[in-house]
Amino acid sequence: MDDGRRVWTYAELDAAVGRMARRLAPLGAGPGSTVALVAHPSPLSVQAVWAVPRTGSVLAPLNPRLGAATMERALEAIGPDLILSTEHDVSDVALEADWITTLDDLPRPAGGEGGADATPEPESRPFALLWTSGTSGGPSAVPILASALEASARACVGRLGLTGEDRWYASLSLGHVGGLALVHRAAYAGCLLLVRGQFSAEVLAELIERNGLTHTSLVPTMLARLLDSRNGESVPSTLRCLLIGGAATDGALVTRVVEKGYPVALTYGLTEACSQVATAPPDLVAEKPGTSGLPIDGLELRIQKDGEIYVRGDTVSPGVADEEGWLATGDLGRLDGDGHLWITGRISDRIVTGGATVHPRSVEVVLEALPGVSGAAVVGIPDDVWGEAVVALIVLDPAGEVDPKALMAQARERLSASELPRRIEFTDSLPLTANGKTDRDSVRALFLGLSHA
């Protein structure tokens, strides 16, 4: 692991993890407990990814940039016994500082640093709980098994030809299944993990240019920012793969990136399947831009008559599949003559914007609680950069006077950056279907009409 100031060998990292685990135990970490980790990628947070499970606790990583309302719902669902962060990240967390224990200066055990690590025997207990909007219904905490993380890492190493000589940038939030899987993948392959805090396109560009970076995982928004940051510079031969997932990738963006010489792999996955389901390596993407390729080793795919993608295999989370082991993803797709997967849409109303999944009703509840708002409808519309942009149609209370700028400022305090509508419009009433529900298609059509005005 390399943070730009120091390089840890895996033996040194293991020793640091052991020390952290022994210091966490007296604070309440141990078998039967759940520990939330609210921190960007850093040496301390990566150590915690391994140290928390070593105590026997279940790890629950969360993105520090979650809005207050979302953070509250996530913590209610997870029910942590201990909340960890770092001194650097505390200011980003929408929580009272008194609730958080920082990793920077954990108290040493009364008996000193000696003693054996509290490493539990393998069992069906989850390695982690990941907060997600889910493939259907409302948001939930999805259990992730250690065996699933290992199976996913093994399959990715085989599909992308990873080696111990690779250098991966820890680009994704640890609260995102892709970010957690990335840390495990690097350890499984024995390669160097480069940690530099919250994602920065400028940092990534420098790592590519000066640090011999070989791989990183990105969502389409990050990819677009990288292109802007590098400003047409040639792609060094040391860069072997930009793994793109987390949101629908615009075909024009893929073509543009490939034409510029970037080695792009496209992956389709979801939290309930421990990240990757199907992955197309760079040579396949260059040949067939837009495909997600074949399912990874250990997974099966089938397409239902209505186009819904079903998944079965070693990485599927417990309790989310049917009696035959099939997980209904809620996503739509097709298989071509070569068995390669192409994603065509989603069944649900979920919005995937910049790699983050937004549940419209969760945003509507926050907006409708704001003073002067009597109704709200939230949808996603196509966007070249974000994949989808969150937009909101709002009904104001006719008896009150509301300043739109003040309204958005209040919303910003309660919503995460991905949940915050990128555009709002006002109306006297929301369009309804025949059964009295919000007509989201009409709302979406309204914004699309305005987009082309």
pLDDT computed for residue 422 by the predictor: 93
More confident residue, 301 or 352: 301
In the chain, what are the domains? 1-113 (3.40.50.980), 136-348 (3.40.50.12780), 351-451 (3.30.300.30)
User: Is 204's pLDDT higher than 70?
Assistant: yes
User: Is 307's pLDDT higher than 60?
Assistant: yes
pLDDT computed for residue 121 by the predictor: 46
pLDDT computed for residue 248 by the predictor: 60
For 27-56, what is each residue's pLDDT tens digit? 999 999 999 999 999 999 999 999 999 999
Q: What is the pTM of this model?
A: 0.80
Look at residues 414, 330, 346 and name the one whose alpha carbon lies nearest to residue 376: 414
Q: Please compute the mean of the pLDDT values over residues 10-23 and round it to a whole number.
A: 96
For 284-300, what is each residue's pLDDT tens digit? 999 999 899 999 999 99
H helix intervals, 211-319: 220-230, 251-259, 282-287
For 371-421, what is each residue's pLDDT tens digit? 888 889 999 999 988 999 999 999 888 777 788 889 999 999 999 999 999
Neighbours of 451 (CB within 10 A): 13
User: Is 95's pLDDT higher than 50?
Assistant: yes
Q: Please compute the mean of the pLDDT values over residues 76-95 and round it to a whole number.
A: 91
Looking up tokens 């290992």, which residue turns up? 150
pLDDT computed for residue 117 by the predictor: 56
User: Is 367's pLDDT higher than 70?
Assistant: yes
Q: Report d(CA 385, CA 419) in Å as an integer.
A: 16
For residue 291, the SS3 value is coil
pLDDT band of residue 136 (cuts 50, 70, 90) is: very low
For 174-201, what is each residue's pLDDT tens digit? 999 999 999 999 999 999 999 999 999 9
More confident residue, 185 or 224: 185
Q: For 208, list phi and psi in degrees, rounded to 5.
A: -65, -45
Look at residues 277, 208, 255 and name the one whose alpha carbon lies nearest to residue 236: 208
The burial class, CB within 10 Å (0-12 / 13-18 / 19+), for 408 is middle
User: Is 17's pLDDT higher than 70?
Assistant: yes
205-214, 234-243, 273-282, 376-385: the lowest-pLDDT one: 376-385
